[in-house]
Amino acid sequence: MENRIYKTKVLWSQMDPNQHLRHSAYADIAASARLDLLEAGGIDMTVLARIKFGPVLFKEELVYRKEVHGVQEITVRSYLKRIERAYSRWAIVSEIYRQDGELACIVSVEGAWIDLKIRKVASLPEEYRAAFLNTPKTEDFQIID
């Protein structure tokens, strides 16, 4: 899959009292971009509901580079950084860019697939693995044991 670009407009409600994009809004925007990435590969919310699987996060790190001022369009590029050979645990990096093209924030998450029937980390079902692995990857992408 080619690099998926997610675009959204910053909402007034996402601004903090200093007229900057609120810190938690970056995480929310990156989450939407990750779901968009999955949907592009054929794993949308209806599929996840049907197979009773979902993503769960264990770690989230945000590195702020440039402030986002006011209501503007932002662009997000997300990449698969790491995946376990068993297709259970993974890491995704999202880069959030301001309207002027400057990198505003890097959001890195580590997570896993959870089987909602048993409420435990589980391997993604076989029929969805190729779609997940076909997402754009970082230059240092790894498949680990």
- What's the confidence (pLDDT) of residue 64? 97
* Structure-token pair, residue 70: 């006011």
Using the predicted structure, report yes or no on whether residue 110 has a pLDDT greater than 90: yes
Pairwise CA distance, residues 15 & 67, whole Å: 11
Q: What is the three-class DSSP state of 61?
A: strand
- What's the confidence (pLDDT) of residue 57? 97
Each residue's pLDDT tens digit, 77-105: 999 999 999 999 999 999 999 999 999 99
Task: Identify the sign of the CA torsion 40, 109, 79, 5.
Answer: positive
Q: Domains plus CATH for the chain?
A: 5-136 (3.10.129.10)
Q: What is the mean pLDDT of residues 106-111?
A: 98
Using the predicted structure, report yes or no on whether residue 2 has a pLDDT greater than 70: no
Beta strands in the chain (DSSP E): 5-9, 53-64, 73-84, 89-97, 103-115, 120-121, 137-144
- What's the confidence (pLDDT) of residue 99? 96
Q: Could you tell me how many residues make up the chain?
A: 145
